[in-house]
Amino acid sequence: MASVKPSVPKGMRDFSPAEMVKRNYIFDTIKSVFRKFGYQQIETPTMENSATLMGKYGDEGDRLIFKVLNSGDYLSKAQPEWLGSTNAKLTNHISEKALRYDLTVPFARYVVQHQNDITFPFKRFQVQPVWRADRPQKGRYREFYQCDADVVGSNSLLNEAEFILIYDEALSKLGLTNFTIKINNRKILAGIAEIIGKPELIVDMTVAIDKLDKIGLDGVVNELLTKGFTREDIDRLEPVILLQGANAEKLEKLKTILSASETGLKGIAELETILSYLQSFTLIKATVEVDITLARGLNYYTGAIFEVKTNETVMGSIGGGGRYDDLTGMFGLKGLTGAGISFGADRIYDVLEELKLFPEASNQTTRVLICPFDAAGETYALPLLQQLRTASINAELYPAGAKIKKQLDYANNKNIPYVVVIGSDEVQSGQLTLKNMQTGEQQKLSADNILAVVK
């Protein structure tokens, strides 16, 4: 067979042992916080039926879904007219499955499919990879992990307040000290579009004002003009998007501006309720900021929306979420409300790496390496090896036959702190040589004493 240059597909990555230790540290931290707030873990399959996914993320989203080719000789069943039609239609015939694009839609499917077995409100979390056929760039991959927590069947705004507490606790535990949880409400955005008199352009409006801190006011104005807004519309919009002040202050001003919009006022009231819940709790490190320009792309959000940004480094958002009133409606279950949040674990990894926030000890896995000089030493070492493991000490035995130099190199590269050297002297005397790899000190000890020292 011809040798193939080893490589992985675009936007996808291998993870080394050292990286996995750090990744698991992030996942474990987030999961433990989810559990603390009463969320239970589920998993869903890597692939969903295309029909489950398609149409849930907008046209742009559909384009970014990885489709999986049918098995078997699908072309033999092909009809001639398929080839003449659009790409999308042909795809429907030769691909019935697709890789999951996020965790929320599969979760909605799960809830509807298992509704009879679920006690509501149902609080679940899920940590799995998702795939997007996007152009990769910094902080964007084609395969990446999401850590989602969602609750369905409860319209209480306490859930939203708790999401903020979850963000605060998890990110603080990971060592971040300066991050902002931005909060907005889709109803407020709808109210603004209503007041301007262009409710049908709400999506274009939110996409444009979302870019305020990126392209500035002039950029936003230009984009709005190309999307069909007039000068007068923008004049009315400008005071809203430039709103300054403390959260309560912003909401008071908004009440005046949106006084004619019932929807808008409802959105404001919701935010006020969430903020009042938070007054009974103490946040560890997070700053909560009402940000009217926060939009979020997904079109199924209907109430509160969140986005988390770190202020210590340049990085896109590291988390987001919101409330969606009718996600399960797409699968035939009406009237079930839900809300959820997501952590972008891969981006959090990049941030912790950049800020050097990973704990130092996390790159040790094996605690003791036994280095035998010969086969006799190896045999002699076996009972000690088991004793160490029985005592819950991570231990390994370097197979006999290699030079000691090579064995110590191995211990070095794996960051193993203790080495036990066993040669003919040790076998004869029963006094084994224990070497501390950090200090270089050696001492002769019995097997029992070694256990006590390395413990």
Partner RNA sequence: GUAGGUAUAGCUCAGUUGGUUAGAGCAUCGGUUUGUGGUACCGAGGGUCGUCGGUUCGAGCCCGAUUACUUACCCCA
Residues forming contacts to RNA in the complex (CB under 7 A) are 7, 9-11, 58, 60-61, 132, 134-142, 144, 146, 207, 211, 214-215, 296-298, 307, 316-320, 342, 344, 346-347, 373, 403-406, 408-409, 411-413, 421, 423-426, 433, 435, 437-440, 442
Residue 258 backbone dihedrals phi, psi, to 5 degrees: -100, 15
Q: How far is the CB of 308 from RNA (least distance, A)?
A: 8
Beta carbon nearer to RNA, 132 or 198: 132
- In the complex with RNA, the residue whose CB is nearer, 239 or 316, is 316
> Of 165 and 348, which CB lies nearer to RNA in the complex structure?
348
CB of 100 to RNA, least distance (A): 13
In this complex, which beta carbon is closest to RNA, that of residue 8 or of residue 119?
8
Q: How many residues does the chain have?
A: 455
Burial 336-364 (b: 16+ CB within 10 A, else e): bbbbbbbbbbbbbbbbbeeeeebeeeeee
Q: Smallest gap, in angstroms, from Cβ of residue 328 to RNA?
A: 19
Q: How far apart are CA 251 and CA 245, in angstroms?
A: 9
Q: Closest Cα to residue 72, out of 44, 97, 99, 45? A: 97
What is the nearest approach in angstroms of RNA to the Cβ of residue 33? 18
- CB distance 271 to 185 below 8 Å: yes
Residue 10 or 389: the one with the smaller Cβ distance to RNA is 10
Q: How far is the CB of 305 from RNA (least distance, A)?
A: 10
The rounded radius of gyration (Å) of the Cα atoms in the chain is: 28
Rounded to a whole number of angstroms, the minimum distance from the CB of residue 88 to RNA is 13
Q: Minimum CB separation from RNA for residue 252, in Å?
A: 29
How many alpha carbons lie under 13 Å from residue 133 in its C-beta half-sphere?
A: 12
Q: Which is nearer to RNA, 77 or 403 (CB)?
A: 403
Query: Measured on CA atoms in the order 103, 107, 109, 110, is the torsion positive or negative?
Result: positive
Asked if 183 contacts 291 with a C-beta cutoff of 8 angstroms, the reply is yes
Kindly tell me which of 9 and 332 has the beta carbon lying closer to RNA: 9
**Residue with tokens 């499917």, as numbered in its chain:** 109
